[in-house]
Amino acid sequence: MSQNESSPLKSSSSSLQDFSMMSLSPSLGSSYPWLKELKSEERGLYLIHLLLTCANHVATGSLENANIALEQISELASPDGDTMQRIAAYFTEALADRILKTWPGLHKAINSTRVVDLVSEQALVRRLFFEVFPFLKAAFLLVNQAIIEAMEGEKVVHVIDLDAAEPMQWIALIRGLSARPEGPPHLRITGIHVRKEVLDQMGHRLSEEAEKLDIPFQFNPVVGELEDLDVERLHVKTGEAVAISSVLRLHSLLASDDEPLRKKLPLALKNSNGIHLQRALQMSQNTLGELLEKDTVNGYSPSPDSASSSPLSSPVSPKVDTFLTALRGLLPKLVVITEQDSNHNGSTLMERLLESLHSYAALFDCLESTVSRASFERLKLEKMLFGNEIKNIISCEGAERKERHEKLEKWIQRLDSAGFCNVPLSYYGMLQAKTLLQGYNCNGYKMKGENGCVMICWQDRPMFSVSAWRCRNSL
């Protein structure tokens, strides 16, 4: 963390760390009465300081100090306060969750009555994210336009959705394709998702829409985890033009590649089916030991997985590379990737904390500027969507940590090495998306194009990226 001390140019992350090192004069009386007197800005700054300090303690294993920091944060943070208070609330919960994992029994017990992953909850959160923010809509506009243009002249179009949960995207595509001058193609959409109910819903809605517009249409549900996907199940036929769309899903494939965990498990488990077993064993083993070992050895965990700070180092991620290669084997005409554009995949806790503080600050600011504080929808989004992501980024490690967002340049490298080359996004699509963003009645949403890819930003911070690809050297 403080290796940057001698560097002449301080990045904002390391400066932030220095900030945490500053002595905070106030002492820590048991009731902290003066804390309540803090005004918004001071409180915000103090919260940042506390969060960083706390994370430091957690990372170095000094849990009592972490406890004190947590206590202070809890006095100040609140899920219905101002932006910084809300952010602090979710980060502190994530840190606490991380600490609690050092007692696996305790952790499980405290979560024993938590009803996990209700389908309706997930659907609600997804719908809220789609409605409240323009990100998904803009991305869909870009993706669909790219598909429509790539499929010009094609008679049979097969679209594969790597995480088929939002029917709106494909409804829009169906309408777009039916309006094209040469008439609609025969359309097949294959949707992949863990839950059968979601796919059934989607298939139903899409078939309905296609029938209304009289388009020959077929929906193929593929139930299962993307990580275990066998491309044969996609039933790609020769001669059909394939388009693959991945919306905020590819990053979780980066999660299956942790070396330190693999080392601990017997060789027999090291095959693709072993991922499940690995996960199961991980829980029953001494996760405490692993966590602390990762955190206290040399100060920070040395796991070689994924992103370090240097943009040029290409991480070893066999799982996602294999997957991309398999996709390329289908010879798709177009692959469109939509991803969060933040580096939340640092190998150390502090790296991830600093980065995610900035990214989620932007998202929470966005909500603050567009939705009222009393809004139930906002609360739900903050808690069920962002809160869970933050928890995953901060308190999970290894295969459990699925929210491995990375910056676009890393994805570009990966796709490049898997045999794809970039297709610039459609000018018309960008025009539409830009108009949409401007129409959201808020000056904060921006869009910028970079080498044919598009970044959708809040103020100046890129939040999501969309990029399109085709097979290199193919006919």
Partner 1 sequence: MSGEAFSLPAASIGGFIQDPSNANPNPKPNANPAKKKRNLPGTPDPDAEVIALSPKTLMATNRFICEICKKGFQRDQNLQLHRRGHNLPWKLRQRTNKEVRKKVYICPEKTCVHHDPSRALGDLTGIKKHFSRKHGEKKWKCEKCSKKYAVQSDWKAHSKTCGTREYKCDCGTLFSRKDSFITHRAFCDALAEESARLTSVAATSLNFGNDTVNLPHGFAGRGVQDVAGIPQFGSGFPQDFSGMPAPGLPEMVQMAPANLFGSSSHFPGFENGGATSSNSNNLSLSQLPQGLKEEGRNEGNLMESLSSLYSDNQNKQSKANASPMSATALLQKAAQMGSTRSNPSFFGNSFGVMSSSSSHTAPTFMASSSASMSATSNNLDKLMLQTGGKPSEPSLLSMHHPGSNSFAQSLTRDFLGMSNDQSPRPFLPQELAKYAAIGSTMGLSQFTSSNH
Which CB atom, from 293 or from 409, has the smaller least distance to partner 1? 293
Q: How many CB atoms lie within 10 A of CB 123?
A: 16
| Element holding 382 (H helix, E strand) | none
In angstroms, give the least distance from the CB of 342 to partner 1.
13
User: What is the spatial distance between Cα 386 and Cα 138, in angstroms, rounded to a whole number?
Assistant: 20
DSSP annotation of 8 reads S
Which CB atom, from 319 or from 446, has the smaller least distance to partner 1? 446
Which CB atom, from 153 or from 266, has the smaller least distance to partner 1? 153
Q: How far is CA 359 from CA 154, 253, 406, 464, 466, in A?
A: 40, 21, 12, 11, 17
Which CB atom, from 213 or from 269, has the smaller least distance to partner 1? 213
Sign of CA dihedral 99, 103, 109, 112: positive
Which CB atom, from 296 or from 388, has the smaller least distance to partner 1? 296
DSSP annotation of 384 reads I
Which CB atom, from 362 or from 418, has the smaller least distance to partner 1? 362
Which residues on adjacent β-strands are paired with residue 338?
247, 466
What long-range pairs does 257-262 form, CB within 8 A, spacing at least 24?
A: 257/305, 257/306, 257/316, 257/317, 257/318, 257/319, 257/320, 258/303, 258/305, 258/397, 258/398, 258/399, 259/303, 259/304, 259/305, 260/290, 260/294, 260/301, 260/303, 260/398, 261/290, 261/398, 261/399
In angstroms, give the least distance from the CB of 151 to partner 1.
10
Q: How far is CA 140 from CA 123, 146, 200, 291, 339, in A?
A: 18, 10, 21, 39, 12
Which CB atom, from 256 or from 338, has the smaller least distance to partner 1? 338
As given in the structure block, the two tokens for residue 19 are 């900030």
In angstroms, give the least distance from the CB of 13 to partner 1.
8
User: What is the spatial distance between Cα 229 and Cα 246, in angstroms, rounded to a whole number?
Assistant: 14
In angstroms, give the least distance from the CB of 355 to partner 1.
11
Which CB atom, from 23 or from 271, has the smaller least distance to partner 1? 23
DSSP annotation of 281 reads H
In angstroms, give the least distance from the CB of 385 to partner 1.
15
Q: Is 266 helix (H, G, I), strand (E, B) or coil?
A: coil
Which CB atom, from 292 or from 331, has the smaller least distance to partner 1? 292
In angstroms, give the least distance from the CB of 178 to partner 1.
8
As given in the structure block, the two tokens for residue 258 are 């942790």
Which residues on adjacent β-strands are paired with residue 337?
246, 467
In angstroms, give the least distance from the CB of 65 to partner 1.
5
In angstroms, give the least distance from the CB of 254 to partner 1.
26
User: What is the spatial distance between Cα 219 and Cα 206, in angstroms, rounded to a whole number?
Assistant: 8
In angstroms, give the least distance from the CB of 61 to partner 1.
5
Q: Is 16 helix (H, G, I), strand (E, B) or coil?
A: helix
Which CB atom, from 293 or from 321, has the smaller least distance to partner 1? 293
In angstroms, give the least distance from the CB of 284 to partner 1.
17
